[in-house]
């Protein structure tokens, strides 16, 4: 595509409302509109580099702790959802109690910012649940310092399985699936609970995943019923190995699955999308683009392979439960799976070792996975929230573009940026700063030809995920 190098953009004026948009507490001070002159297309968009505090966090990720968590979880023999909930040494009950204890001890050092709870409910029988079964999630909530109402969630699943999904007694070490994900969740809880993120971060481990995403489904529905403003959720499921079935290694790649068309899309939203596009611009895709912007760099030492899919063929993970409630959600997983090591009884057949064993986990790889998650979550929680109520005005036929949105409540909010790209580009390519306003007029820049979004920026230069406008 054409790059508009050399073109100058300029905010011509900001009118309506009191002068001086940055004064706190002045009613109406932000009801302002920016005017962008014809031909102004902004600058090429840049990745957001990690700031000093984030670099500090990433340096402190401890590979040995990740490994000891995976070893401890595998030591419970099986963590099958239907296994013993009362045996102190073997089964999902013992594993859940251990995770609860770990997170509680971290909370005790958090200065009161993090609290831990068990979330239990009885799952009624279904094809993979023969009798009513208590399912227990563990939830550690690190309350945001300035915007606690805005929430980001990271999860891994506690439960494991073997070849027969109903076999609750055979050894199911589940080292990769999904002790690796749980280890990442606990390590991030350890590091981030010592800090004071602006928004709330939930570190959760869920059960019943292999039986039908039951724990996360209950959890996401509970958040939705409570009106929780969850602006991003990441499932870490099978994040422990970088080795493919044929033995080749890809130790610096992590897949990120995001859907384009939202699972919870309404009929009205479908009609709008069919009329004006946006198939690759759902809220989860915007969340994924944000992760690419902040976590695919030399500091995490990981390349994010962005996959335009909700999940792999025949599979799903706990992000789907959040998608069903309309929340932005995505899944991290290793680059190439070895299906001899997943959902298999531990055994040797024709000289081939089957089973999800610790021997197959690459802890240097898990460390880099933790870095990607830490960079993403921290950048979300320290930056401003995704702009709300973003509309693109379509009352009349024009070759201009008008965008309006609601101002966020962050104390350190600096303003907004319009992002845009050709409709055929996979990610935002250009950014136009528009200042601390709640609407913008882009003269002679037709909404018919490109996709527009709006993101928020704080005084430290952190940006939010982009919002994609609805016509109105
Ligand atoms: Zn799994």
Instruction: Give pLDDT tens digits for 118-127.
Output: 999 999 999 9
Calpha distance 170→128 (Å, rounded): 16
**Distance in Å, CA 252 to ligand 1 centroid:** 21
- Is residue 55 domain-resident? no
User: Do 258 and 109 lie in a common domain?
Assistant: yes
**Distance in Å, CA 165 to ligand 1 centroid:** 12
User: Do 18 and 78 lie in a common domain?
Assistant: no
The predicted pLDDT at position 11 comes to 42
**Distance in Å, CA 221 to ligand 1 centroid:** 20
**Distance in Å, CA 344 to ligand 1 centroid:** 12
**Distance in Å, CA 244 to ligand 1 centroid:** 17
**Distance in Å, CA 178 to ligand 1 centroid:** 5
User: Do 376 and 417 lie in a common domain?
Assistant: no
184-221 confidence digits (pLDDT tens): 999 999 999 999 999 999 999 999 999 999 999 999 99
**Distance in Å, CA 238 to ligand 1 centroid:** 6
User: Do 103 and 234 lie in a common domain?
Assistant: yes
- Is residue 168 domain-resident? yes
**Distance in Å, CA 213 to ligand 1 centroid:** 10
Beta strands in 285-400 (DSSP E): 303-308, 329-333, 347-349, 352-354, 388-392
**Distance in Å, CA 176 to ligand 1 centroid:** 8
The answer to whether the beta carbons of residues 456 and 410 sit under 8 Å apart is yes
Going 430 to 436 to 439 to 443, the CA torsion angle's sign is negative
Domain stop point among 325, 357, 382? 382
Tally of domains within the chain: 2
The predicted pLDDT at position 20 comes to 34
The answer to whether the beta carbons of residues 212 and 128 sit under 8 Å apart is yes
**Distance in Å, CA 257 to ligand 1 centroid:** 14
Q: Is pLDDT of 41 > 80?
A: yes
User: Do 41 and 186 lie in a common domain?
Assistant: no
Report the pLDDT averaged over residues 400-426.
Answer: 97
Residue 178 DSSP symbol = I
Residue 305 DSSP symbol = E
- Is residue 57 domain-resident? no
| Neighbour-count burial of 92, counting CB atoms closer than 10 A to its CB (0-12 exposed, 13-18 middle, 19+ buried) | buried
- How high does pLDDT run on average in the chain? 93
Domain stop point among 355, 382, 409? 382
| Neighbour-count burial of 215, counting CB atoms closer than 10 A to its CB (0-12 exposed, 13-18 middle, 19+ buried) | buried
pTM above 0.85, yes or no: yes
| Domain assignment of residue 325, given as a range | 62-382
pLDDT: which is higher, 314 or 374 = 374
**Distance in Å, CA 237 to ligand 1 centroid:** 5
Which of 33-37, 361-365, 367-371 shows the lowest per-residue confidence on average (mean pLDDT)? Answer: 33-37
Q: Is pLDDT of 18 > 80?
A: no
Calpha distance 412→37 (Å, rounded): 28
**Distance in Å, CA 157 to ligand 1 centroid:** 7
User: Do 278 and 413 lie in a common domain?
Assistant: no
CATH number for position 353: 3.40.630.10
User: Do 449 and 340 lie in a common domain?
Assistant: no
The predicted pLDDT at position 2 comes to 34
Report the pLDDT averaged over residues 392-398.
Answer: 92
User: Do 369 and 436 lie in a common domain?
Assistant: no
Calpha distance 433→94 (Å, rounded): 53
The predicted pLDDT at position 396 comes to 87
User: Do 119 and 168 lie in a common domain?
Assistant: yes
* Tokens (6 digits) for 78: 């099986």
- Is residue 90 domain-resident? yes
**Distance in Å, CA 85 to ligand 1 centroid:** 20
CATH number for position 405: 2.60.40.10
Domain stop point among 352, 382, 412? 382
Q: Is pLDDT of 12 > 60?
A: no
The predicted pLDDT at position 30 comes to 59
442-461 confidence digits (pLDDT tens): 999 999 999 999 999 999 99
Give 9's pLDDT tier (boundaries 50, 70, 90): very low
Q: Is pLDDT of 146 > 60?
A: yes
239-260 confidence digits (pLDDT tens): 999 999 899 999 999 999 999 9
């Amino acid at each position: 595509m054409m790059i508009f190098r050399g073109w100058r953009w300029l905010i011509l004026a900001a009118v309506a409302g009191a002068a001086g948009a940055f004064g706190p507490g002045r009613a109406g001070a932000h009801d302002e509109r920016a005017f962008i002159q014809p031909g102004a297309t902004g600058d090429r968009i840049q990745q957001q580099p990690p700031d000093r505090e984030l670099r500090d966090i990433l340096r402190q990720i401890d590979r040995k702790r990740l490994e000891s968590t995976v070893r401890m979880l595998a030591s419970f023999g099986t963590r099958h959802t239907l296994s013993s909930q009362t045996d102190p040494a073997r089964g999902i009950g013992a594993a859940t109690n251990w995770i609860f204890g770990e997170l509680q001890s971290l909370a005790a050092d958090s200065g009161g910012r993090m609290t831990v709870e068990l979330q239990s409910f009885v799952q009624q029988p279904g094809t993979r649940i023969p009798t009513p079964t208590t399912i227990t999630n563990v939830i550690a909530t690190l309350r945001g310092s300035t915007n606690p109402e805005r929430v980001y969630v990271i999860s891994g699943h506690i439960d494991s399985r073997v070849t027969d999904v109903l076999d609750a007694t055979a050894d199911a070490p589940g080292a990769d699936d999904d002790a690796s994900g749980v280890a990442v969740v606990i390590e991030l809880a350890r590091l981030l609970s010592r800090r004071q993120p602006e928004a709330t971060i939930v570190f959760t481990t869920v059960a019943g995943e292999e039986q039908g995403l039951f724990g996360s489904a209950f959890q996401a529905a509970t958040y939705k019923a409570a009106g929780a403003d969850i602006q991003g959720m990441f499932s870490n499921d099978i994040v422990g190995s970088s080795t493919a079935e044929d033995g080749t290694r890809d130790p610096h790649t992590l897949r990120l699955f995001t859907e384009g068309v939202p699972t919870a899309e309404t009929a009205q939203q479908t009609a709008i999308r069919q009329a004006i596009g946006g198939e690759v611009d759902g809220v989860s895709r915007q969340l994924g683009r944000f992760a690419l912007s902040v976590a695919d760099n030399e500091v995490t030492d990981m390349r994010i392979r962005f996959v335009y899919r909700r999940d792999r063929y025949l599979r799903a993970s706990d992000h789907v439960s959040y998608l069903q409630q309309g929340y932005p959600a995505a899944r991290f997983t290793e680059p190439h799976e070895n299906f001899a090591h997943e959902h298999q009884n531990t055994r040797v057949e024709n000289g081939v070792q089957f089973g999800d064993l610790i021997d197959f986990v690459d802890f240097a790889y898990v460390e880099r996975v933790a870095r990607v998650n830490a960079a993403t979550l921290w950048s979300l929680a320290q930056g401003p929230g995704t702009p709300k109520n973003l509309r693109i005005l379509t009352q009349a036929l024009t070759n201009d573009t008008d965008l309006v949105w609601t101002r966020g409540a962050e104390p350190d909010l600096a303003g907004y940026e319009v992002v845009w790209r050709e409709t055929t580009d996979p990610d935002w390519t250009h950014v136009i700063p528009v200042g601390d306003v709640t609407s913008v007029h882009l003269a002679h820049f037709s909404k018919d030809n490109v996709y527009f979004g709006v993101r928020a920026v704080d005084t430290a230069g952190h940006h939010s995920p982009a919002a994609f406008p609805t016509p109105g």
